[in-house]
Structure 1
Amino acid sequence: MAGVVSLLHYPIKGCAGTSVRESVLTAAGLAHDRSFMVVDPEGVYRTQRGDPRLALVRPEIGDDGDLLTLRAPGMDALPVEVDREGPRGSVDLFGVHYTGIDQGDPAAEWLTAVLGVPSRLVRVPPEHDRVTGGETPGTAGYADSSAVLVTSLPSLDLLHARLVEQGGEPVPMSRFRPNIVVGGWAEPHVEDRARQVAIGDVVLGYAKLAIRCAVTTVDQETGERAGPEPLRTLAGYRRASAGGVAFGARFAVVRPGKLSVGDQVLVDLWGGSDL
């Protein structure tokens, strides 16, 4: 029987995730997921592709979302009272313009000290109405694409076997920054073929394969690039027909609800793989 073995949200895009036992799934993903984003002085997004030290930032957010605490090695913790009402400014996410609410100079100075480059912190405004594409359209905060990223333990097991065959070392699931990790499927990459998934009261609709980038080569504990793996090995057997290498799948939220670790995962509709 397949079930949820991990739930993770990432309050600040590109920064460390938080493992939770249960969460509310909104139309835009797990509560607080990618609600914030680090930007440069021109409002252009920062991610671990260009700023791997983002992995060192370990944000904590209260259930009500009113207080965000920034933590990083060697830095004093910084509490940030979340501003949802301030002036809206333009932000750039993958060349598309949205708006964000700046969270103030103390947060900007703290992030600049950690990253070593001028940075500011913005929050998704309440009226954010981003539309995400793929086979099932939806919405999301500042996530790369669709609201929910699903991976599975069998998929990671296969990758580990391939890495070891080539004399490499296994990599942790954190390299792939999933929201939902599924265990119990009898074979790897079932998530590629699942078109509609029911988890408790929640229903997810398949959007697209998760095409992986250089973020997977960043050690999430040290904030340093760790070499060509796992991209090099994935390129040997996970090339997508539309280009790139895939690991995991992205889903839109068809029906919001509550999710918990241990919930059964049922695939209600199947399709073919896009590899």
Structure 2
Amino acid sequence: MATVVELTSYPVKGCAGVPVSETLLTEAGLRHDRSFMVIGEDGACRTQRRDPRLAVIRPAIDTDGERLTLSAPGEGEVAIDVDTTSARREVKVFDNPYLGIDQGEDVARWLSRTLGAPSRLVRVPPEHHRVTEGWIPGTCGYADSGAVHLVSRASLDGLNQRIAEAGGVALPMSRFRPGIVLGGWHEPHREDRVRRIAIGGVELGFAKHTARCAVPTVDQSRGVKTGPEPLRTLAGYRRGPGGATLFGCQFSVTRTGKLAVGDEVSVIEWDGPPPGE
């Protein structure tokens, strides 16, 4: 029986994750996930692709989402009362235009100093409505493409075995920044074939496989790029249509509710016949 072994919310897009033992799963993903993002002077989101130091910025947000604290090694911390009512401004997640609520000068100065470039923090407005593409469409905040990124531990084990066989060093799951990690499956990439899944009292619908960018090459504990792995190894056996390198899957939320580490997993629908255990 597969179960949830890790839950991680990423309140600020591109910044460190916040492990949780239980949370609320909303239509947009784990509570507070990608509710905020850091932008440059042009309103475009900052990501670890160009700003790997985002990884060492650690958010802490209270349950109701009204107070946010950011901290980073050597930079101290900054705390803000979250603004959900001020004027909206135009922002971009890659080439897609959205709106954001600027969170003020104190956090902007702190982020600019920490990242070494002019930066501001915005929050997704309460009226934000975004339709994400996929086999089962959904919605999300400022995430790249979906509400929930799900990976099985077996998939990472299979990847690390290949890296080790080539003389490399095993990598942690944090390189892939999933929201939900499942344990108990022995076959790598079984999540690729899931189409509908129940976890505890919630349900998810498959949207698409996750195409990997350069972010998995960033050491999440140090905020620096480290070399070609894991993309080099993944490219040898995980190429998708069009040449994209795939690892993990994006899911839409079809039933909201509480989610906890230890929750059991039941696959409602597979792509093809159910796999043998």
Alignment of 1:168-207 (within 5 A): 168-207=168-207
Alignment of 1:17-166 (within 5 A): 17-166=17-166
The SS at the match of 1:4 is strand
Between the aligned partners of 2:242 and 2:251, the Cα distance in structure 1 is 18
1:76, CA displacement in angstroms? 1.7
Between the aligned partners of 1:175 and 1:24, the Cα distance in structure 2 is 24
TM-score (norm 1): 0.98
Between the aligned partners of 1:175 and 1:72, the Cα distance in structure 2 is 18
The SS at the match of 1:207 is strand
Between the aligned partners of 1:242 and 1:8, the Cα distance in structure 2 is 30
In the comparison of the two structures, how many residue pairs are matched? 272
> Are 1:268 and 2:273 an aligned pair?
no
Between the aligned partners of 1:243 and 1:249, the Cα distance in structure 2 is 16
Amino acid at match of 2:33: D
Amino acid at match of 1:160: N
Between the aligned partners of 1:184 and 1:175, the Cα distance in structure 2 is 21
> Which consecutive residues of structure 1, in runs of 5 or more, have no partner in the other structure?
none
The SS at the match of 1:71 is strand
Between the aligned partners of 1:241 and 1:78, the Cα distance in structure 2 is 44
The SS at the match of 2:76 is coil
The SS at the match of 2:236 is coil
The SS at the match of 1:129 is coil
Could you report, residue by residue, the CA deviation over 1:20-56 in whole angstroms, capped at 9, with x for unpaired residues?
0000000000000000000001111110001000001
Report runs of 4+ in structure 1 exceeding 2 Å deviation.
none
Which residue of the partner structure matches residue 275 of structure 2? none
1:233, CA displacement in angstroms? 0.2
Between the aligned partners of 2:115 and 2:80, the Cα distance in structure 1 is 18
Could you report, residue by residue, the CA deviation over 1:167-199 in whole angstroms, capped at 9, with x for unpaired residues?
000110000000000000121101100000101
The SS at the match of 1:46 is coil
Could you report, residue by residue, the CA deviation over 1:191-217 in whole angstroms, capped at 9, with x for unpaired residues?
100000101110000000011110000
1:151, CA displacement in angstroms? 0.4
TM-score (norm 2): 0.97
Between the aligned partners of 1:42 and 1:127, the Cα distance in structure 2 is 23
Between the aligned partners of 1:239 and 1:28, the Cα distance in structure 2 is 28
Matched-pair identity in %: 60
Between the aligned partners of 2:132 and 2:194, the Cα distance in structure 1 is 19
The SS at the match of 1:140 is coil
1:77, CA displacement in angstroms? 1.4
Between the aligned partners of 2:184 and 2:71, the Cα distance in structure 1 is 34
